[in-house]
Amino acid sequence: MSKTEKLLVTGYGGFVAGSVVWQALRAGNWDVYALSLDEPPRQEKDFHVIQFDLLDDTRLRQVFTQIQPKAVIHTAALADIDYCENHPDDATRVNVGITRDLAGLCAESGARMTLCSTDTVFDGRRGMYVETDAPNPLNHYAQTKVEAEETVRTTLEWGVIARLSLVMGLPVLGAGNSFLAKMIDSLQRGEKVKFPANEVRTPIDVITLGGALLELAATDFTGTIHLAGSTRLNRYQMACQLARDFGYSDDAVMATDSNAMEGRAPRPNDASLDNTRAKNTLRTPMRPLMDGLRLVKEAKAIQTP
């Protein structure tokens, strides 16, 4: 692939987009354009950062036309589940509306688009969902992702819907929303951390995820794919393993039930994903939890001066 081929990444400053951009720069095979809502967390001479609100469809069209990307990785979203539940119009406008605008631009230009969706499109009644299972969202955030998926599916013949499992790791570019970073900060202060034992997931590390998304942007794969780790466990068990690896006691982790808390949108109990298609399609391996954590630590060590 020639570096003259342009990659557009939305949501720069976020956790996943930071990994995508960082790895694209290290690989050196994309001319990277990162779109950020807020002031960019880090300016680089090796790539381009453009700050504006993606809801400004006129500006989005102008930027897209100027860049003329070969591929788009769309990570930007309003992802706070409880905020989305209480502000459904905002969530729909961002998660569905922006996806519709981007998909339309990609359809006009022939650019390849990868949408980052979520494991929570499923109701969590049985777990280990495959790509052909029918979504049944329990909250408005998940509903917007189902609608965004359908927008890509019906607008683009060459679109990719990447359903992401719970993303684990430490930020490499920008702060983003890393539960692991927050957990470590709390443990370092001697505070207890709470994780739901009712929520079963197949967590994927952010480095593996970034690599998989870049691979999808460069391949001919189309359709839906589950990007998930190879360890299935509940979030409390996961937090205990991670805490031990960082030298803390299991006693610092408290089990909760996310669906027993008042004022919260419902969550699926078991949204674990079957990653067989990803294993058979991608060169990027879908790793067990602790292998992924080691990869995260190695990447952080490289990135930290």
What global pTM score does this model have? Answer: 0.94
Place of tokens 């100027």: 66
Q: Is residue 304 part of a domain?
A: no
The single-letter code of the amino acid at 95 is N
152-175 pLDDT tens trace: 999 999 999 999 999 999 888 766
Place of tokens 């983003």: 176
- Range(s) of the domain holding residue 168: 6-178+202-230+270-289
Q: What is the DSSP letter of 183?
A: H
Q: Is residue 101 part of a domain?
A: yes
Which tops the pLDDT comparison, 260 or 135? 135
- The pLDDT score that the predictor gives to residue 102 is 98
- The pLDDT score that the predictor gives to residue 28 is 85
Quickly state the pLDDT bin for 68 (edges 50, 70, 90).
Answer: very high
223-255 pLDDT tens trace: 999 999 999 999 999 999 999 999 999 899 999
CATH number of the domain at 59, please: 3.40.50.720
Q: Is residue 220 part of a domain?
A: yes
Pair type for strands 223-227 and 160-164 = parallel
Q: Is residue 213 part of a domain?
A: yes
Residues in the chain, total: 305
- The pLDDT score that the predictor gives to residue 304 is 54
Beta strands in 42-192 (DSSP E): 48-51, 71-74, 112-118, 160-164, 167-168
Q: Is residue 44 part of a domain?
A: yes
- The pLDDT score that the predictor gives to residue 57 is 95
For the record, the structure tokens of 78 come out as 């309003």
Question: CA-based diameter of the chain, in Å?
Answer: 55
CB 104 within 8 A of CB 52: no
With a pLDDT cut of 90, the percent of the chain lying above it is: 83
Total domains, the chain:
1
Q: Is residue 142 part of a domain?
A: yes
Q: Is residue 115 part of a domain?
A: yes
Give the residues across from 73 on adjacent strands.
9, 114
Q: Is residue 94 part of a domain?
A: yes
Nearest Cα neighbor of 115 from 100, 129, 130, 135 is 100
> Quick one: average pLDDT of 300-304?
70
Please tell me the distance from the alpha carbon of residue 250 to that of residue 244, in angstroms, as a whole number.
7
